[in-house]
Amino acid sequence: MPGTLYVVATPIGNLEDVTLRALRVLREVSIIAAEDTRRTSRLLQHYSISTPTTSLHAHNERTKTPGLVERLRSGESVALVSDAGTPVVSDPGARLVAAAHAAGLRVEPIPGASAAIAALSASGVSGDAFVFLGFPPARAGARRKWLADLATDSRPLVLYEAPHRIRDTLEDMLAIWGDRTIAIGRELTKVHEQLVVRPISRHLGDLKTERGEYTIVVAPPAEPPYAAAEAPSAETIGAEFDYLTENGALSRRAAIRRLSEKYGLKARAVYSMVEEGRSSGV
């Protein structure tokens, strides 16, 4: 009888945030496929679990998957875990899960901790739906285009960011989205946990320790984004247009469309303001 592939969520920080079912499965399977066996060993040692582990990460998943599928075929059960939280969600493992399904093998989720859900639940941002975005593009131009495409999304957004890019990403958010109020969680469930809700500019001003893992929750933009009395100046439109088109992040047409959506203006009016700003030296 074939084995089962268990997709096991593990704690995102506090080792107590693991389910009894997850601990049982980790004890009972033949092997644990872990993103980082050293990190997983801390959890296993804490709960006196002696199940063998093997590495399965972004750089070896292609080569390791066939062997793990064969072990499942032969009757062994396998637990898939990531460094923290729920596997496959911005973590490796999708190739193994897909291969198991393709082979007709049983795949069983063992739900538990998720940084995205933890931050959203405590952020105060409500909504019947939300969009999980994972990590923004690392390159500046691609990231700015990515943010511009999301500027008018009417759903709450949840994303992750690395410590060495958090400042650049927040600066791009401020320039493209305006000074929205967002929630930022850092080191969730760990000793130095923080979850702060404030405008982007305040986050930037208080960003002194760029360490840890960041989870960001963004509320939908207010509708309409700007009242007629608050219409931006040509200088503001021109500066934002230049920012959006810098390094090929957006084409001229796309930037004008994005600004028209953001400010509730007709595209022709935005174009005229861009030209006016240029003629005045912006």
pLDDT digits (tens, 9 = 90+) for 88-108: 999 999 999 999 999 999 999
Report the pLDDT value the prediction gives residue 259, as an integer from 0 to 100: 81
Average pLDDT over residues 18-33: 98
Range in 143-157, 175-189, 253-267 with the lowest mean pLDDT? 253-267
CA torsion 220-221-222-224 (nearest 10°) is: -130
Query: What one-character DSSP code corresponds to residue 84?
Result: S
Average pLDDT over residues 121-131: 87
> Does pTM top 0.75 for this prediction?
yes
Q: Pick from 175, 115, 118: which is nearest to 143 by CA?
A: 175
Residue 231 in this model has a pLDDT that exceeds 80:
no
Which residues, including other chains, have CB under 8 Å from residue 115's CB and lie 6 or more apart? 12, 84, 85, 160, 185, 188, 213, 215
Average pLDDT over residues 7-18: 96
Range in 109-118, 127-136, 271-280 with the lowest mean pLDDT? 271-280
More confident residue, 184 or 249: 184
Which residues, including other chains, have CB under 8 Å from residue 36's CB and lie 6 or more apart? 55, 57, 83
Residue 43 in this model has a pLDDT that exceeds 80:
yes
Residue 26 in this model has a pLDDT that exceeds 50:
yes
Quickly state the pLDDT bin for 131 (edges 50, 70, 90). Answer: very high
**3 state DSSP class of 157:** strand
Average pLDDT over residues 215-234: 70
Residue 216 near residue 125, CB atoms below 8 Å: no
**Rounded CA gap, 233 and 236, in Å?**
5
**Rounded CA gap, 164 and 162, in Å?**
6
Q: What's the token pair of residue 160?
A: 């992750």
Range in 41-45, 204-208, 254-258 with the lowest mean pLDDT? 254-258
